[in-house]
Amino acid sequence: MAHIFIVNKLSTIEIIVSRRKKTPHRLIDWKTVGRRLRELRGFDTTQTEFAQRIGVTQGYLSSAERGEREIGPEILLRISREFGKTIEWLLTEKDSATRR
């Protein structure tokens, strides 16, 4: 929210807009997303196999599973399409499409 202050200074009015700095809110818990990726991969698929299916390296997938990397939208879309999960489920474990 912006605060507006009006100051009278030598017959001129200056409008000073002051904005408070807000701390960024983390809406996505990447560690939890990583756990969902690990769950989706299962025990029968190696990281290398899973990574090849979604077009990333094994190292990228490993760091994503540990929650050390934010996964970009293109990769989220690939995972969604390849494994039949919504992006919403990947990010929040909720799926509004199934609630209808």
Distance, CA of 64 to CA of 60 (rounded, Å): 6
Query: pLDDT by residue (tens digit) across 53-89?
Result: 999 999 999 999 999 999 999 999 999 999 999 999 9
- The predicted pLDDT at position 27 comes to 83
pLDDT, average across residues 37-61:
96
* Single pTM value for the model: 0.68
Q: Which listed CATH number (3.40.50.970, 1.10.10.60, 3.40.190.10, 1.10.260.40) goes with 30-98?
A: 1.10.260.40
Query: Is pLDDT larger for residue 43 or for residue 15?
Result: 43
Domain spans of the chain, in order of start: 30-98
- The predicted pLDDT at position 95 comes to 74
